[in-house]
Homo-oligomer: A and B are copies of this chain.
């Protein structure tokens, strides 16, 4: 079983094609492909949905539709329902982040469904009863109702991160060595003295400040080379100019 087939997004009776399209794009962003709709009631045609699916139109076209939730999740090893409400039987909810590790583990044994309810009234109690897990997205108490496509994105994002398939971008330039940095700082010290930025008796003190600034910005060998190039060029320009005048 490949990674992307381990999770299925199930939308129960969605109303707006724009949400379905946005969900296709979000799923593609987070490496998922399996979209099922239960008794969709799309009220606005599919034009908006196709527009918002953007480069994930193949997911929209590849969606499957079922008459009931039971059919849509019949082959799943776990069914995680999402809810914004906290009813009597919805108290064992967990956040997407809390749920993700267990769901990802279960997904190695079969398909795990994430079920999202209607835009206007979520999942009914009978549908909640089908779920083996319940998820509630943390939100400000003043406004807990999250847009359907946004809710799907947040859940897919948490699953994507926990699956560990994301490789953070690597610095292409190697880290600067201490010697390289020290050589660069010497060039700048010399330059700043030559251009009268600081007097010799204040140089040690002033260079501490310069060092602090450069140390923050210059962490790779490329960075250090850039700063050295700047010092070299400033020195060249200085020498091309006229000799320093006394202050007027």
Contact = CB atoms under 8 A, between A and B. Distances in A.
Interface of A: 22, 25-26, 28-31, 52, 54-56, 86, 91-93, 95, 97, 136-140, 142-147, 149-150, 153-154, 157, 160-161, 165-166, 168-173, 219-220
A157 B91 CA distance: 22
Nearest to A90: B169
A168 B22 contact: no
Given A149-B150, A153-B153, A169 B52 contact: no
Contact of A140 (B29, B143, B169, B219): B29
Nearest to A55: B143
Contact of A146 (B29, B93, B138, B171): B29
26 contacts: A22-B147, A22-B150, A26-B146, A26-B150, A28-B140, A29-B143, A29-B145, A29-B150, A31-B139, A31-B140, A31-B142, A54-B147, A56-B143, A86-B169, A91-B170, A91-B172, A91-B220, A92-B171, A93-B169, A95-B168, A136-B169, A137-B157, A138-B161, A139-B160, A140-B160, A153-B154
Contacts of A160: 138-140
Contacts of A136: 169
B169 A91 contact: yes
A171 B143 CA distance: 21
A28 B150 contact: no
B91 A144 contact: no
A138 B153 contact: no
B166 A138 contact: yes
Given A97-B161, A138-B157, A154-B157, 13 more contacts: A25-B143, A25-B147, A26-B146, A29-B145, A30-B139, A30-B140, A31-B140, A52-B147, A91-B172, A91-B173, A92-B171, A138-B161, A139-B160
